[in-house]
């Protein structure tokens, strides 16, 4: 017995199909993983190793927070009551990012920590506490730089 008969007798076609499938799915999985690289690099771009660790920790092991208020209105009140706390949270985040920092990056990080990150950052910009640099980056105002408007 030889040739195709031998292949048939030893289930060669089935084994060949199985091998092709394994290689195909292996390559497809690899291709999918490679397509995710740009997103991963975008997220990691400009971060220090320490801030990467903090971001990953917050994502997979979030710090337990006190129960959130039941309604968005209550949430808004909570933040308005304590704007200093929101500012302090942002200062901590920028301490990891370094100065000057990228505002979109700060906004993305703040979304995990503040109820209303957009309006909070806007308030700090309008009050002159966060200043825009000519190169499109941002920094905290030093004591004598704070103004009533940007």
Partner 1 sequence: MIPAQELRKYDIFLDLEPNELAALAKIADVVHASEGETIINEGQPARTFYVMDQGNLMVAFKDGRALTLHGHGEVVGWSAIIHPTHYAGDVICLTDCSFISFPGSEMLRLIQSNVAMGTKIMRMVSERVANRIPFLAEAVRRRLKGGR
Q: Segment 14-53, which members bind partner 1 (CB under 8 A)?
A: 45-46
Q: How far apart are CA 57 and CA 104, in angstroms?
A: 20
Instruction: Please check whether residue 96 is in contact with residue 48, taking contact to mean a CB–CB distance below 8 angstroms.
Output: yes
Of 109, 103, 105, 108, residue with least CA distance to 130: 103
CB atoms within 10 A of CB 12: 12
104 binds partner 1 (CB under 8 A): yes
Q: Segment 50-79, which members bind partner 1 (CB under 8 A)?
A: none
From 7, 54, 78, 103, residue interacting with partner 1 (rule: CB under 8 A): 103
Query: How many residues bind to partner 1 according to rule CB under 8 A?
Result: 22
Q: Which two tokens stand for residue 66?
A: 């006190």
Q: How far is the CB of 60 from partner 1 (least distance, A)?
A: 24
* Contact footprint for partner 1 (CB under 8 A): 45-46, 102-105, 107, 116-119, 121-122, 125-126, 132, 134-138, 150
């Amino acid at each position: 017995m030889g040739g195709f008969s031998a292949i048939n007798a030893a289930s060669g076609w089935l084994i060949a199909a199985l091998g092709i499938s394994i290689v195909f799915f292996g390559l497809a999985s690899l291709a999918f993983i490679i397509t995710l690289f740009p997103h991963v690099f975008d997220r990691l771009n400009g971060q220090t190793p320490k801030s990467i660790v903090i971001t990953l920790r917050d994502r997979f092991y979030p710090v337990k927070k006190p129960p959130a208020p039941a309604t968005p209105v209550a949430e808004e009140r909570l933040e308005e009551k304590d704007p200093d706390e929101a500012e302090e949270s942002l200062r901590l985040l920028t301490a990891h990012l370094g100065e000057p920092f990228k505002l979109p990056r700060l906004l993305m990080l703040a979304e995990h920590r503040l109820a209303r990150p957009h309006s909070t950052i806007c308030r700090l910009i309008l009050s002159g506490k966060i200043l825009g640099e000519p190169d499109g980056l941002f920094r905290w105002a030093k004591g004598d730089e704070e103004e009533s408007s940007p």
